[in-house]
Amino acid sequence: MRWCRRCLYPDTKVDLEIDESGVCSACKNFEARPTIDWEARAKEFVDVIERHKSHPVYDAIVPVSGGKDSHYQVASLRTLGFNPLLVTATTCDLSPLGRKNLDNIRTICGGSDHIEITPDPVTRRELNKFGLETVGDISWPEHASIFTVPFRVAVEMGIRLVVFGECSQNEYGGPAADSNIIDRRWLEEYGGLLGLRVSDLPFPEEKLWQYTYPTNEELERAGVTGVFMGYYFPWDGYENAQTAKKLGFTVYDGWVEGSCCNYENLDCYLTGLHDYQKFTKFGFGRATDIACNHIRRGRWTRSYALNVVAERDGMFPESYLGKSLDSILSELELSRVEFLEIAHRFRNKKIINEDFRLIHERK
């Protein structure tokens, strides 16, 4: 296992390249930022929205979770003078903090209309278990739905633009780093679906409607496009969090378990299980992502980050946002033994040992 010598990403990260000098593609993308004409891109962004206006009232759809990035996106659009429709694919097992932030986001900058779509929670629970057992990712349905639900609403309401936030390919160093467009192919290739597709899910079609991406015909007829705001503005989750806090966003009291920040992933209790499985598959967790973002922007030194990550990364999810593992598992009707068995099944035996510790030392 090799680590980037600037940040802390390992070469086991999907779609990441570490070059001969030891620098990873995420760092290189970030270094390229000053060369980009951000003013031109900001103008382009306004232009994109203007060109896609079709609905008499709403200028675009903004998919929101109520989190820091969502707040930033809504605030940006409203201050630019647009009227977005906020669309949330409500997560399963929503925390009170998540609920509070969702209630807040529709009040900011003059207020926005907000549609919350809650896919049938009975099926959702089954889907979560299916994701956990088949590909070791309890958040698989969530990751699919946050893309598919907004596009469905766009098609059904005749709103031609969906404005997503961070482009993960750019932030985390993938081959599609320069993409501003998000479409079905992007989701299949870069959306972290682990090889699973909606057509694999053993549920009747009508139960999977919200997880099903609109067909090409539907999208063409409605003329719907999805874009990443992260292409048009230099993205920074931490800065977005500061902006959001001024607008009423509430952070967690302390660093979230398995991570090293208090401002992200505050809405779904299952995220702890997801992050833990990410660590056991790839050898790094959410703390690494946050630390790398800080390192690149000069807020943390690498050696400081190394200590933080050594302590926080891959923490066993004994609790998440204060809710105990036993309580989370009992709602899923899973025993601890079953969960551990699943974790072992998907553990990458080359990099994680039987005690769920990294075999190679981070350096």
Partner 1 sequence: MINFVKIAYSFLIKRLRLNLRRDLEFVFVIYQPQARNIYIKPDGPWFAKIGCVDNTSDFALKPQKIRVLKTRIVPVLLFRDGLLVKGRQFNSWRRIGPPIPAVRVMDRRNVDELVFLDIGATPEEREPDFELIEEVASEVYSPLTVGGGVSHVSHFRELLRVGADKVSVNTAAVNDPSLLETAARKFGSQCVTVSIDVLEGKVATGCGSLLHDLSPISWARECERLGAGEILLNSVERDGTLGGYDLDLIQSVSNAVNIPVVACGGCGSFEDMALALNHAHAVAAGALFAFTECTPIQAARYLASRGYPTRVECSDNGRERIFRNRINT
d(CA 280, CA 276) in angstroms, rounded, equals 6
| Contact criterion met (CB below 8 Å) for 138 and 274 | yes
For partner 1, the closer of residues 52 and 278 by Cβ is 278
In the list 40, 311, 345, 353, the residue contacting partner 1 (rule: CB under 8 A) is 345
Between 232 and 282, CB nearer to partner 1: 282
For 318, phi and psi rounded to 5 degrees? Answer: -60, -30
Could you tell me which stretch among 65-73, 77-85, 95-103, 342-350 binds partner 1 (CB under 8 A)?
342-350
Residue 87 bridge partners (DSSP):
63, 115
Listed in sequence order, the residues at least 6 apart from 154 whose beta carbon sits closer than 8 Å to its beta carbon are 61, 160, 161, 162, 222, 224
Min dist CB 16 to partner 1, Å, is: 7
Does residue 346 bind partner 1 (CB under 8 A)? yes
Q: How far apart are CA 95 and CA 320, in angstroms?
A: 10
Of the candidate residues 54, 83, 118, 134, the single one contacting partner 1 (CB under 8 A):
134
Can you list the positions of beta strands (E) in the chain?
A: 60-63, 84-89, 113-117, 161-164, 181-182, 225-228, 319-320, 323-324
Should residue 184 be labelled a site residue for partner 1 when binding is judged by CB under 8 A?
yes
Site for partner 1 in 271-310 (CB under 8 A): 281-282
Q: β-strands 60-63, 113-117: how paired?
A: unpaired
Q: Which of 54, 104, 118, 348 binds partner 1 (CB under 8 A)?
A: 348
Nearer to partner 1, 165 or 173 (CB): 173
Q: Is there binding between residue 233 and partner 1 (CB under 8 A)?
A: no
Nearer to partner 1 (CB atom), residue 133 or residue 331: 133
In whole angstroms, the minimum distance from the beta carbon of 123 to partner 1 comes to 18
Q: Which of 19, 50, 103, 188 binds partner 1 (CB under 8 A)?
A: 188
Length of the chain measured in residues: 363
The answer to whether 6 contacts partner 1 (rule: CB under 8 A) is no
Tell me whether residue 50 or residue 189 sits nearer to partner 1 (CB atom). 189
Give the DSSP H or E segment for 295: helix 286-296
Q: What Cα–Cα distance (Å) separates residue 24 from each residue in 3, 6, 20, 172, 289?
A: 8, 8, 9, 9, 13
CA distance 59 to 157: 12
Q: Work out the burial of residue 311: count CB atoms within 10 Å of its CB; fewer than 13 is exposed, 13-18 middle, 19 or more buried.
A: exposed
Q: Which of 21, 35, 199, 303 binds partner 1 (CB under 8 A)?
A: 199
Q: What is each CA distance from 23 to 44, 294, 300, in whole angstroms? A: 31, 16, 17
Minimum distance, C-beta of residue 350 to partner 1, in the bound complex (Å) = 5
> By CB under 8 A, what part of segment 149-178 binds partner 1?
175
By the rule CB under 8 A, 200 interacts with partner 1: yes
Each residue of 115-145: b (16+ CB within 10 Å) or e?
Answer: eeeebeeebbbbbbbbbbebbbbbbbbbbbb
Q: Does residue 136 interact with partner 1 by CB under 8 A?
A: yes
Q: Which stretch binds partner 1 (CB under 8 A): 88-96, 262-270, 293-301, 341-349?
A: 341-349
Return the number of the residue (12 or 118) whose C-beta is nearest partner 1.
12
Q: Which is nearer to partner 1, 64 or 193 (CB)?
A: 193
Chain residues binding partner 1 by CB under 8 A are 1, 11-16, 134-137, 175, 184-185, 188-189, 192, 194-197, 199-200, 213, 281-282, 345-346, 348-351
